[in-house]
Amino acid sequence: MSSQHEHKKMDDVDPGLNSSDLDVIESNQTEANGKKEKYPYVVFLIIVNEFCERFSFYGMRTILFIYFTQFIKMNEDTATAVYHAYSSLCYFTPILGAIIADGFIGLYSTIVSLSIVYFIGETIVKLTMVEYKPMKPSAIIAPKIGVK
């Protein structure tokens, strides 16, 4: 391998190089720096945020129809239409997020602000599903002191 390829950055690598050539270039970069570069901590925050968002999305899809029909008392046709609108919006709103991120407030601000909006929506749904039943004070205190 020629020395001109050894000093190129990974972005400037010829597309004709095979994976072993790329490994040599990467190892030369690591040796030149003296240590392997670490990922920024923001990468891990994005991964955790994506995990939470996916977990929330699939959890919401699981209970959404039941929520519409049992708690809000929608008829099945309307609940089905709203459910499919929610599913469609979840797949198309990343385009809007990309426009906001690239054109206005930046990547990380967009992730944080839209995650807060998503969290508020999830919180509203969860709080409206909780049935409020007033409890006697003894029902709150008794389990703590072991009295029935």
Is pLDDT of 53 > 80? Answer: yes
Q: What is the pLDDT of residue 39?
A: 81
Q: Which of 112, 110, 116 is nearest to 94 (CA)?
A: 110
DSSP 9-61: -GGG--TT--HHHHHHHHHHHHHHHSSPPPPPHHHHHHHHHHHHHHHHHHHHH
How distant, in Å, are the alpha carbons of 56, 102, 126, 128, 134 from that of 131? 21, 42, 10, 8, 10
CB atoms within 10 A of CB 145: 6
The answer on pLDDT for 32 being more than 50 is yes
Within 8 A by CB and 6+ apart from 36, the residues are: 30
| Spatial contact of 64 and 83, defined as CB atoms under 8 Å apart | yes
- Please say if the pLDDT value at position 27 is more than 70: no
Residue 86's contacts (CB-CB under 8 Å, 6 or more residues apart) are: 60, 61, 64
Give pTM, 2 decimals. Answer: 0.52
At residue 5, does pLDDT exceed 70? no
Q: Which of 70, 53, 46 is nearest to 122 (CA)?
A: 53
Amino acid at 113: S
